[in-house]
Amino acid sequence: MPQARTPQVAPAPPAAQRAARYWLMKSEPDECSIDDALAAPHQTVPWTGVRNYQARNFMRDDMQVGDGVLFYHSSCAEPGIAGLARIASATRADPTQFEPESPYFDPKSPPAQPRWLLLDVQALRKTRLLPLAELRAVPALASLRVLQRGNRLSITPVSDEEWAAVQALL
DNA sequence: GCCAACGTTGGC
DNA sequence: GCCAACGTTGGC
């Protein structure tokens, strides 16, 4: 008895099954601030340099064009949410992994199967800076990933409720 | 597959 | 510059 054929390709998961529709993305303002992104052509920058598998997998598996982004400034005098942005492209290979002179060079990444991805992020607007202390004071943001102890991920999902709570602060 | 050593992140 | 926390590496 022949078995029913199984689809060769799994259907894309419905939006409700994605990890999130909103994201927080960290950028060092010395490298690319919200002002830098707003000044870029089409207010769009390639999000280069992600070298963490969890963050890469969010880009690869969950992030979609149009998703909302909290643009976060890290490793600077005033860390916090500095602007709003959106995901503006699908993923593609991050070219810096193949550039020996780049700080993001990864000699172990096989060019035929690039290990690291990026996508384009379009800045929408600069906001007033929402520093960590202010975010921590909002009960609805208690579980925001960037506020958790030891958090280091440069891309983290933001729930619908957290997104709304941030918008309410602006 | 364990786990110690090491490098990096990032707030303070 | 300090240091806690975390991810990665590599010997065994």
Q: Does the C-beta of A107 come within 7 A of strand C?
A: no
Among A167, A163, A57, which residue's Cα sits nearest to residue A119? A57
**What span, in angstroms and rounded, lies between the C-alpha atoms of A41 and A57?**
27
Q: Which pLDDT score is estimated for A18?
A: 80
Looking at residue A13, its pLDDT comes to: 55
Residue A71 half-sphere exposure toward CB, CA atoms < 13 A: 28
The pLDDT assigned to A7 comes to 38
pLDDT by residue (tens digit) across A73-122? Answer: 999 999 999 999 999 999 999 999 999 889 999 988 988 899 999 999 99
- Distance of alpha carbon A75 from alpha carbon A88, whole angstroms: 25
Quickly name the fold that domain A20-169 has: ph1033 like fold (3.10.590)
From the CA of A76, how many Å to the C1' of B4? Answer: 32
**Which nucleotides of chain B are near protein (any atom < 7 Å from a CB)?**
8-12
Q: Which helix (H) or strand (E) holds A168?
A: helix A160-169
Spacing of A113 CA from B6 C1' in Å: 28
Per-residue pLDDT, A12: 52
| CA atoms A88, A21, A93, A25: torsion sign | positive
User: Each residue of A1-44: pLDDT tens digit?
Assistant: 444 433 344 455 555 578 789 999 999 999 999 999 999 999 99
| Helix/strand/coil for A112 | coil
DSSP string, A64-82: -TT-EEEEEE-SSSS-EEE
pLDDT digits (tens, 9 = 90+) for A114-150: 999 999 999 999 999 999 999 999 999 999 999 999 8
What's the whole-number mean pLDDT along residues A152-163?
96
Q: What is the pLDDT of residue A5?
A: 38
- Of all nucleotides, the one whose C1′ comes closest to residue A136's CA is B11
Residue A147's SS3 state is: helix
What is the pLDDT, as a whole number, of residue A157?
A: 97
The 8-class DSSP code of residue A17 comes to G
